[in-house]
Amino acid sequence: MRWEKNAKARNAAIHRYLWRAKEGVFADYDFVHGKSSSYAYISSLYPLWAGWRHARSQQVVDKLNLFERPGGLSMSNFNSGLQWDEPFGWAPTNWVAVDGLQEMGFRDDARRIAQHFDATIDEGFAKDGTIREKFNVVSGNSNVQVQTGYKSNQIGFGWSNAVYLKMKEIAAAPAASAAN
């Protein structure tokens, strides 16, 4: 009973502080200034991965266009020059989003993004025989030019390798319309 009460309180707080109804997304909340962030970030898709079954799930999926690029999902829709913004996509964040879409029944979206992200990894591998840590999802390759912060793009990163294989499984699944 105690844990159920805590879960309900946490759910209420999540919807009070993190859900931006007008935009149909979850966002960070600045407790110091008492307002939601206006910054569109890939983490707004994470509730799907966490199994958030709600009538508003479709609203979250409708915002994929904020992040979807030719090579996968961008970290944000703002190019600041930092590695955690556009045009960069990372395997773990793409995986959390794609797996969430898949598990919540948005299989065509998951399949499409998985195909695009894996095509980006394939392009980089064809170019130099490596799989990298992060990718430029706007240009669909591993050419990254970070202006500020951690500028290298490590080779042979385990999470990229694992996500690539998991995305292959989703990308190979039949389209939802074909499965019916």
pLDDT computed for residue 177 by the predictor: 58
Q: Is 2 helix (H, G, I), strand (E, B) or coil?
A: helix
- Answer whether 48's CB lies under 8 Å from 25's CB: no
CB 124 within 8 A of CB 117: no
pLDDT-based confidence at 180, cuts 50/70/90?
very low
Average pLDDT, the chain: 91
In the chain, which ranges are E strands? 19-20, 25-26, 29-30, 35-36, 68-69, 72-73, 88-90, 134-136
| pLDDT for position 73 | 98
Question: What integer pLDDT is reported at residue 13 of this predicted model?
Answer: 92
The model's pLDDT over 8-67, given as tens digits with 9 standing for 90+, comes to 999 899 889 999 888 888 999 999 999 988 889 999 999 999 888 777 889 999 999 999
pLDDT confidence band for 179 (50 / 70 / 90): very low
Total-model pTM: 0.90
List, as one string, the DSSP characters of 54-68.
-TTHHHHHTTGGGTE
How many whole angstroms separate alpha carbon 136 and alpha carbon 75?
Answer: 10
Among positive and negative, which fits the CA dihedral 74, 78, 81, 83? Answer: negative
